[in-house]
Every structure is written in C-alpha cells, then in structure tokens.
C-alpha cells in the first residue's frame, strides 16, 4: 500500500486520546462526561453512574513468570476500583472480558478468579457479567467497572483552583522498584535455575507491584469528614504525569516541593541501589495507584494530622507552569512522561 | 508442576460460565441480575441500567485479510448493541478497551474509529471512555455497552411460559455462509494473487458477516405496539443454542418447525453449493445477531403481518424437551452447540 503511514508513537498516548475524542461528540443527555477523566459520568437522576475500563495484556502489563494468577486477578480489579476512587465514587459492579489461550488450564482460570473474587469481596464489588473467549496468543483481561457517586460529590480532574493544596496518599515509587526487583531476580533465575530468588528483603516493594490496593479507605474517610476534593486522579503513570493532567484540566499550574513527596525508606534505599534518583521513581515510576487530589485551603485543618495524606504543594494561576522546588531549592519543570507501552 | 490440569474445552463455554457464577455471590442491592443473561441489570431507581461486554481478538473473531477495519469497528459496536436490544433496552454509552500492536499505524486506528463512529451515530450511542494500550500480538477490541430500560420492560431470558409463541427476526445462517465465502476466496487469492475474489454474487451473505446490524428497529417497533416479549436473546451462536438458553432459563421446553425457520434464498442456494444443510446453518451457524423472543399468544394479532418477524413454534411445559419438527414431519431433538473458540 502506498498510503501514508504514521506511527502511533509519534502522537503518544495522550495525543491519540485527544484525536479520538475530537472525532466523537456526545448525543445522549445522560452522557455527562465522556473521554478524558478517570471514569465516564452518566446521569441517572439524583446520582451519577461512573464507568471505567482497564485492559491488561500478557507481555505488556504483566509477566506470568513472576505474577501469580491470583495476584493478577486481584490487581486487575483493584486498578479499576482505583479509577472509581479517583472520581470520589463507590465501586459496585464489574464485568470481565477474558481471552485465554489453550496454555491455560481450568485450574489456572480458577486461580485467576480466586484473586478476582478476593478483590470483589474486599471492595464490595459484584461480578455481574462478562465475555470469555479463547485467545491465539496470551492472556487478555479487560475489566469494566461501574460505580456511583452523589452528584455534588463526583470529583473530576477539572475542579482545582488557585491556592488549592495538592495532596497525595501513601508513598510513591515503590511499585516501580518492585518491578525492577522482579525483573532482576527473573534474570538471575534464568541464568541459573538453582538460584532461588531472594525477595524477602524487598517484600514491601514487590507487594506494591504485585498486589496494589485502591485507596477506597481514603474516599470513605474524606466522606466522613465531609470533605470533597476539588480535583482528583489516581496515580497510575507517576506523579508528574497525573499532576499535569490535573493542571491541564483545571486550567491551573502547580508547584510541588521535592522534600514533601512521600517515599518509603526501603524504596529510597533500593532506588539508590539501582542507581536511580528516588524522586524520579516517584515522579515517573507509575503503578502506585495512590490518589492525587486537591483541596480548598479551608479543608486542610481536619486533614493535617492524617498519617497517610501528604501535602506536597499547591495550585496557582500560571497555567502550564508546573514546577518542583528541589531539595536544593532550585526550580525544576515537571515533565510529561511519554507512553511506556508504545 | 505436578498439579492437576483440566482443559477448559472439557467444560465448554457454558460449563465455565456456570462454574464462575457459582463462586460469586452478589453483595450490592443494586445488582439485580448478574451473570447469565445478555446483559447485567443494575437498579437505578425508576429504571434499570443494562451492561454487557464483548471481546474480539484478532485470529479468533476476525481476520484482517478480509475484514476491513471500518467494518470491524462497526461490528464491534453492533454486536454490543445487539445485547442491549436482547434485553429490550435502549443503548446509550460505550467504553472501549483497545490493544494495538505496532503493526497498526495511526491511519489504521483512524479507520477502525471511523467504523466505531458510524455505528455510534446509527445507534445513537456515545463513546464515553476507554483504555488504549499496545499489544504484543494482534488487535484486541473489548467494548462494554451501557443501556437502559424501564423496569417493567426489561426482558430477561427467563420469562417464557407454556404456549408462548417463539419469534425470530430477519433470516438466519447468512452470516455463517458469508464467512465460508470469505475463507474460500482468501484461499483462492493466497494460491494465486492474480485472481481477484468474486464476491459480488454473494454480496448479501458477505455483508451479513462483515457488517451485521443490531435489531434496534424491532425493539422500537415492539415498544410502539406496546408489546413486551416474555423472554428474549440475540442470536450470536445459532438458533439452537439460543433456544436452549431460553428454555433452560424459563424452565420450559420448546417446539419449532423447520419449515418456519427464515432462510434467505441466496443463503439456501449457497448452503447447497457448500454441501451444508441450509437448516444447519440457521441452527448452528451463528453471528446473525437477529432476535429470538417469545410472546404471549394474545400479542400475536398485532404482529402477525410483520414482514420481518417469523413465528417458528411455541414453548411448552416439558422442560428439557426441545425439538424441531422437520419438513418430513419427524421429531428432531435440538442439540446444544459446543463452543467454537476453544
């Protein structure tokens, strides 16, 4: 064919999403929010229904050499729950598309569903349907999640205002470092199958990679304190990328302080061991599934002593100016991360 | 590993679905109907939200050698709309999971979305979100659709009663025969690339395979006539399989008449050309995406002259007795079809 060929990588993930979005317009009055947030928002009267989907492909998103099927099932649900958490919603149902090659036995499928079931119980989500089919290559898991939120409590990426405080839950970078550990041990094992992987020391990091949790606990705690974030997103691609999303959608800039970014002590040491700047793992590592959100200054007081919420900076009016103040006091621009998968 | 290994094919599609279903219980009061119908049913107060998903994998569900990307996009949406039609609902939103290998250029992705967009416009559905990622093997499309139906108009597979009339829309078997034509022409072309495929004569059949339509027109017409089917399912796996689903879920048996099964004249002739019994293509061919439904005898009168609804038999009280009266007057048991994909 002599047709023009443009590689998708030239646009990148966000360019492709923008392109798709620009070609589609919404026709149904119930479609309140389409492409471009953690979940779509559908009007059902007094409440909103929230819908989001995540697809995981073998060889791209997971490696069964070190990802037990139970953990994979759990993670596939958790990362979808995380999208509903990022809308300040409550997850209720999931529907699963599953592609299985004949490499997978019934026992393997049972293990996968054991993990899915454990996550469903933990997050109080119902599996209500799906489509299971064979696959000519590897394992494909596509989960769509349905959640709900009261109209006035639905939090988009677009509501942050000047001076809002930027908050992040948990700690960042550990999931990325867990993946580095698993990759290293896999290579050691492949070189010499007699060598047993030594993961004990890195248990926390490996656990963050293999069995992430959605921060529904934070969503429920904020609700108890009657605090509605002004904007929110879950951290799947790294703090830098998510912060830029909030700024772009809210039409604000952001300023964060490197010394306020929460990094676990083991993650810090392990980053040094891998000769990676610990801050880089937090900014660009991804897969932490923590929540990044903004609050009005007046909501700071009831949260200020929360052990698992960290206040890392604030929004400001200089759109497109997103900066980090380093530990040395220098101003570092926050860079968008490209798409890891293409 | 010396663990037990059971092949999924031993259970088959429906055995696997039953097994998964038995391990999951519903926790949310909003989850009205879970696994086991064309769509899940979620309570939103005065109405139901309907959710269904279909996954299409390259090499299993489609062959890009003869499936243009625009048609693939259209079909991926249409088969999901068909699931909402089968619940007597109105489709409103879709969310798309897409896995792309680097074989696919931006232009290819544009063509795929062109078809998706055409289907969205035709069925008045909004694309509200998705997840696009790379794939290490072929193209993966997973669409989840959201629809709505009034509570008293939501039609399950389980409502058929003794003496209800069995109805089928359109004609059956053509999509299967279209696939046989495409496979034959592909082989001819591969053997001799100078040979151009001669598809004109078979245009209707090929069109049924490449560009199926969901029967939303029937759903709207039934609504206009104030008729609510007692049970309904869309015909994706062939009439036989779907009829057994209605019988099993409704706790009824069924009796249909071979001479009432609608088969297009070209499909009939082409089946003979392929040395396949035309009735077999209707019973077991699949991918027709017509509607199979049952109505109360009292609803027959307003429908009896409908040009596109065919009355092929009736339900009865002898559970598990599902038979076809052949053209010769013999009683033929209706057989469950296995799963084609495993």
Q: Which residues pair with A255 in a beta bridge?
A: A314, A323
Is residue A214's pLDDT more than 70? yes
Residues whose CB is less than 8 angstroms from the CB of residue A291 and which lie 6 or more positions away in sequence, other chains included: A85, A86, A167, A168, A169, A215, A218, A219, A232, A233, A234, A235
Confidence band for B51, pLDDT divided at 50, 70 and 90: very high
Distance CA A50, CA A119 (A): 19
Same domain, A209 and A84: no
Please state at what angle helix B106-123 crosses helix B69-85, rounded to 10 degrees. 30
At B315, is the secondary structure helix, strand, or coil?
A: strand
* Minimum mean pLDDT range among A37-46, A183-192, B141-150: A183-192
A181's CB contacts (< 8 A; 6+ apart) are A199, A202, A205, A206, A270
pLDDT the model gives residue A205:
97
| Contacts with B, A 139-178, CB within 8 Å | 140, 142, 144, 146, 148
The answer to whether residue B158 is domain-embedded is no
Residue B342 and residue B337: Cα distance in Å, rounded? 12
Q: Which of A35, A61, A107 sits opposite B129 (nearest CB)?
A: A35
* A171 shares a domain with A123: no
CB spacing of B102 vs A7 below 8 angstroms: yes
Shared-domain flag, residues A60 and A195: no
CATH number of the domain to which A266 belongs: 3.90.650.10
> Looking at the predicted structure, is the pLDDT value of residue A338 above 70?
no
Residues A204 and A266 in one domain: yes
In the 8-state DSSP scheme, what is residue B258? G
Q: Are residues A171 and A105 in the same domain?
A: no
In this complex, is the C-beta atom of B330 within 8 Å of any C-beta atom belonging to chain A?
no
- Nearest C-alpha of chain B: how many angstroms from A16? 8
pLDDT in tens, B262-302: 999 999 999 999 999 999 999 999 999 999 999 999 999 99
Residue B94 near residue B77, CB atoms below 8 Å: yes
What is the distance between the alpha carbons of residues B200 and B316, in angstroms, rounded to a whole number? Answer: 43
Residue A160 lies in a domain: no
Provide the domain count of chain A.
2
Q: Is residue A328 located within the same domain as residue A209?
A: yes
Residue B340 has pLDDT above 70, yes or no: no
Q: Is A61 on the interface with B (CB under 8 A)?
A: yes
Q: Write down the pLDDT at residue A326.
A: 97
Beta-ladder partners of B8: none
Domain end position, chosen among B133, B153, B173 = B153
Give B2's pLDDT tier (boundaries 50, 70, 90): low
Instruction: Compute the C-alpha angle B20/B144/B22, nearest 5°.
Output: 10
Res B38 pLDDT > 60: yes
Same domain, B258 and B172: yes
Chain B contact for A8 (CB, 8 A cutoff):
yes
Whole-number Å distance between alpha carbons of A271 and A176: 10
Enter the tokens of residue B72.
Answer: 């693939």
User: Is the complex ipTM more than 0.90?
Assistant: yes
- Residue B115 in contact with partner chain A when CB distance is under 8 A: no
- Residue B12: both structure tokens together: 């088959």
Distance CA A55, CA B131 (A): 6
Whole-number percent of chain B with pLDDT over 70: 97
Test A8 with B39 for CB contact under 8 angstroms: no
Interval B197-233: pLDDT, tens: 778 899 999 999 999 999 999 999 999 999 999 999 9
- pLDDT tens digits, A317-328: 999 899 999 999
Nearest to A142 among B7, B97, B127 (CB): B97
What is the tens place of the pLDDT at every residue in A180-190? 999 999 988 88
Asked if residue B60 lies in contact with residue B339, where contact means CB atoms within 8 angstroms, the answer is no
CB B107 within 8 A of CB B140: no
pLDDT for B3: 67
Read off the CATH number of the domain in which A101 is found.
3.30.1330.10
Specify which of A194-208, B175-189, B254-268 reaches the highest per-range mean pLDDT.
B254-268
Structural domain for A141, as ranges: 32-153
How far off is chain A from B317, nearest CA to CA, in Å?
29
Claim to verify: residue A231 and residue A323 sit in the same structural domain = yes
Contact B322, B254 (CB under 8 A): yes
- Do A44 and B45 count as a contact with CB atoms less than 8 A apart? yes
In the block, which residue shows the tokens 């089919």?
A133
Beta strands at B231-235 and B165-169: parallel, antiparallel or unpaired: unpaired
Q: With 80 as the cut, is the pLDDT of residue B341 above it?
A: no
Q: Of the residues A87, A118, A153, which one is the last residue of a structural domain?
A: A153
Q: What is the mean pLDDT of chain B?
A: 94
Residues A126 and A243 in one domain: no
Q: Is the pLDDT of residue B1 over 50?
A: no
B97/A contact by beta carbon, under 8 A: yes
Query: Is B133–A57 a contact, with Cβ atoms under 8 angstroms apart?
Result: yes
What would the two tokens of residue B194 be?
Answer: 């100078």
More confident residue, B332 or B8: B332
Asked whether B275 and B324 are in contact (CB, 8 A), the reply is: no
B166 vs A338: which has the higher pLDDT: B166
What percent of chain A has pLDDT above 90?
82
The beta-carbon neighbor of B52 closest among A55, A98, A129 is A129
Shortest Cα distance, chain B CAs vs residue A109, angstroms:
9
Q: What percent of chain B has pLDDT over 90?
A: 82
Instruction: Quick: pLDDT tens for A145-186.
Output: 999 999 999 999 999 999 999 999 999 999 999 999 999 999
- Two tokens at A36? 């471009």
Q: List chain B residues with CB under 8 Å of A60.
A: 99, 133-136
Considering the domain architecture, whether residues B107 and B177 belong to the same structural domain is answered as no
Q: For the residues A75-103, what does the mean pLDDT come to? A: 96
d(CA A289, CA B107): 33
Q: At what angle are helices B203-210 and B174-191 packed, to 10 degrees?
A: 100
Based on the domain organization, do B205 and B135 belong to the same domain? no
End-to-end distance of chain B based on CA atoms, in angstroms?
Answer: 23
- pLDDT the model gives residue A132: 92
> Does residue A142 form part of some domain?
yes
Confidence of residue B339 (pLDDT cuts 50, 70, 90): very low
Q: What is the pLDDT of residue B337?
A: 64
Considering CB atoms only, which of B19, B24, B55 is closest to A99?
B55
| Among B5-14, B50-59, B310-319, the least confident range | B5-14
CB distance B75 to A117 below 8 Å = no
Per-residue pLDDT at A13 exceeds 50: yes
Among the partner-chain residues B40, B105, B130, the one whose CB lies closest to the CB of A6 is B105
Question: Do A205 and A91 share a structural domain?
Answer: no
How far is A205 from chain B, CA to nearest CA, in Å?
25
Choosing from B106, B122, B153, the residue where a domain stops is B153
Q: Is pLDDT of B98 > 80? A: yes
Indicate whether A208 belongs to any domain.
Answer: yes
Would you place residue B194 in the very low, low, confident or very high pLDDT band (cuts 50, 70, 90)? confident
Q: List pLDDT tens digits, range A245-297.
A: 999 999 999 999 999 999 999 999 999 999 999 999 999 999 999 999 999 99
pLDDT for A1? 47
> B292 — contact with chain A (CB < 8 Å)?
no
pTM over 0.90: yes
| Cβ atoms < 10 Å from Cβ of A197 | 15
User: How far apart, in Å, are the Cα atoms of B228 and each of B87, B223, B299?
Assistant: 10, 7, 9
């Amino acid at each position: 064919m002599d047709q023009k060929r443009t590689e998708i990588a030239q646009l990148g993930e966000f360019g492709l999403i923008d392109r798709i979005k620009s070609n589609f317009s919404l026709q149904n009055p119930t479609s309140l929010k389409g492409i471009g947030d953690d979940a779509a928002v559908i009007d059902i009267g007094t409440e909103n229904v929230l819908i989001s989907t995540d697809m995981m492909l073998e060889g791209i998103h997971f490696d069964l050499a070190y990802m037990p099927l139970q953990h994979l099932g759990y993670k596939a649900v958790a990362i979808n729950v995380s999208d509903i958490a990022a809308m300040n919603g409550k997850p209720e149902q999931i529907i699963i598309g599953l592609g299985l090659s004949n490499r997978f036995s019934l026992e393997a499928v049972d293990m996968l569903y054991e993990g899915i079931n454990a996550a469903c119980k933990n997050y109080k989500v119902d599996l209500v349907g799906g489509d299971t089919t064979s696959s000519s290559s590897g394992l494909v898991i596509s989960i769509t999640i349905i959640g709900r939120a009261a109209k006035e409590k639905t939090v988009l990426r677009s509501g942050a205002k000047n001076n809002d405080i930027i908050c992040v839950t948990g700690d960042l970078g550990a999931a990325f470092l867990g993946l580095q550990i698993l990759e290293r041990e896999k290579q050691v094992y492949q070189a010499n199958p007699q060598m047993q992987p030594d993961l004990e020391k890195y248990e926390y990091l490996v656990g963050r990679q293999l069995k992430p949790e959605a921060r529904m606990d934070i969503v429920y705690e904020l609700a108890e304190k009657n605090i509605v974030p002004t904007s929110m997103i879950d951290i799947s691609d790294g703090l830098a990328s998510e912060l830029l999303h909030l700024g772009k959608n809210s039409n604000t800039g952001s300023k964060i302080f490197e010394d306020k970014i929460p990094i676990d002590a083991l993650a810090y040491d392990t980053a040094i061991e891998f000769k990676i700047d610990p801050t880089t793992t937090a900014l660009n590592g991804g897969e932490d599934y923590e929540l990044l959100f903004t609050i009005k200054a007046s909501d700071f007081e009831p949260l200020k002593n929360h052990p698992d919420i960290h206040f890392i900076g604030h929004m400001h009016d200089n759109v497109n100016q997103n900066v980090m103040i380093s530990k040395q006091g220098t101003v570092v621009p926050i860079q968008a991360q490209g798409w890891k998968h293409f």
